[in-house]
Structure 1
Amino acid sequence: ANDVGMAVLSLDVQKDGWAQVELKALFDKELVAEWGYSQDEIVDGIKSDAEEAGFKVAPYSEGEMIGARATKQLSLVEMQDLRQIFEPDYPSEQAGPLLAIERGFFYTRYRLATDFDLGEAEGPLGPGQLRLTLPGKVTQHNANEEEGKALVWHLAWGPNRIEAEARAVNLAAMALVISIIVGALGGTFFAISRLSKPFALATLPTGAKFCPQCGNSLAPGDTFCSQCGTKL
């Protein structure tokens, strides 16, 4: 931000490489009044060009600043340059996608490395800020500062080097491995507990008698075995 206002470009990147893009152009409310403009006139001033680039534009206020907020979604893996956010046909010299995604079994790595060239033109808001949020945990970057999960670059006219890397856990893979481990441990514990359990000894009624020939159980007072006929 400066005495006139601020311009902020925000990229909230999702795991599939798509990003929610937000561009805010805000001016000091008192200065806008001194210039004789209204907020609607500010919005109308950028609306046609922004909508041509695929943005949805609406009035926006923040504190003592008023202006416009433009949003759209796009895939960073299908782009080569940040300038293509505003100029889809901008000829980039960068080889490969703007956002590189390396998918592993346990982790997915995200890497954005590019030169964001704002040219030599100057405007009342200055070159502004770039705010980038990547999935997972940031492992490396050259941003000017961090605000929560967002990396913030204070841009300058001309080329700006932007580098950031992050690593996100693949929760589905982790859950699968944990379930396999838990199942294996549970089966092992059950088998060990069965082996270590003592067998219960059969108990016989007090005074029980059996046939000496076939082992048949005898009732009190029997003189013959009902099973084999042996005389007792």
Structure 2
Amino acid sequence: RPCGAYVVRFRNLRSGPRSKKFLRGYGYEGGGGTDFNWGAKGFGEAFKRGLMDPVTTVGIAGFGECLPRWENYVEINPNVVDAYGIPVLNVHMSYGENERVMAYDMQDAAVQMMEAAGAKNVRPFVVPDRTPGFAIHEVGIARMGSDPKKSVLDQYQQTHDVKNLFVCDGAGFASTACQNPTLTIMTLCVRSMDHLMGEMKRGNV
């Protein structure tokens, strides 16, 4: 019986297939199931029998990294607040050429996998101009960096301008890969706390 599936990243690794057309890589998530044959032909008794012929479908969807670009940013709306009186965010976000090229590579590789697995009636599609936000992990808006003019946090997730403030979640990420970022967030948090303890012992915080 088909169930959930995950295909780990394989493109543009140190070893394995590479592409000269785009940076980074992607993975797939998917699943399948068996249902009535709602597309059965005919009518009457023949249609009823056709409905009972099980149809098994499998689908996978690609998830890739969106490269950080200066054109993508978030700002505080000066005029609109939410139900709690907190200013809402204006999100300026669009995909670049790297993401569009990657999307078509996702499609081609998915077709190859499906056909190699014996799938029939493979129907690929790609939506290169889909509005961002269809599938995301909530990270970013307080990027890490060494230049206070271009970043909010340093390498220890300590804010450049408020020395006793550490932001230990995914806010420091400028981008995120197709994998879940939780383990990376946890790892960075451990490093940040080790640094914080040292700074406290030295009396710097």
Fold equivalence (TM over 0.5): no
Q: Which has the higher strand share?
A: 1
What TM-score, normalized by structure 2, do the two folds share? Answer: 0.23
What TM-score, normalized by structure 1, do the two folds share? Answer: 0.21
Higher gyration radius (CA): 1
